[in-house]
């Protein structure tokens, strides 16, 4: 198959997946068990995306200021800081470490 055929196939599968979501009966989605599962999947997806962005540099593992920023932001979250404060703590720690290493 050519590249365009793969792109069209992937687009059709994405569209059909979205369409299938609309066809799910509402009573299935109102179930407490389904709500817990959806919330857990969302948290897991966000955590995995955050870890990949913090620890990867192309195809290699990168341990740099991003890891320290992630740890500092995690501590700020643990201390129950507001979200804006968590972002500022993470950005400031990354900036300070990059400044110290430069």
As a whole number of angstroms, the distance between CA 72 and CA 80 comes to 13
For 85-97, write each residue's pLDDT tens digit. 999 999 999 999 9
Residue 84 has pLDDT above 90, yes or no: yes
Instruction: Output the pLDDT for position 7.
Output: 96
What Cα–Cα distance (Å) separates residue 21 from each residue in 8, 24, 26, 56?
Answer: 20, 6, 10, 32
pLDDT of 63 > 90? The answer is no
For position 9, what pLDDT does the model report?
Answer: 97
Domain boundaries, the chain: 63-102
Q: pLDDT tens, 8-62?
A: 999 999 999 999 989 988 888 888 888 888 889 988 898 888 888 888 887 888 8
Please tell me the predicted confidence (pLDDT) of residue 53: 83
Which pLDDT band holds residue 76 (cuts at 50, 70, 90)? very high
Q: Which residues lie across from 60 on neighbouring strands?
A: 57
């Amino acid at each position: 198959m050519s590249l365009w055929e793969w792109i069209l196939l992937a687009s059709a599968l994405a569209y059909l997946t979205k369409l299938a979501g609309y066809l799910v009966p509402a009573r299935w989605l109102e179930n407490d068990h389904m709500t817990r599962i959806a919330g857990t999947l969302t948290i897991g997806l966000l955590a995995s995306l955050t870890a990949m962005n913090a620890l990867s540099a192309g195809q290699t593992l990168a341990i740099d200021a991003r890891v320290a920023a992630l740890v500092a932001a995690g501590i700020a979250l643990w201390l129950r800081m507001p979200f804006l404060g968590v972002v500022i703590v993470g950005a400031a720690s990354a900036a300070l470490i990059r400044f110290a290493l430069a």
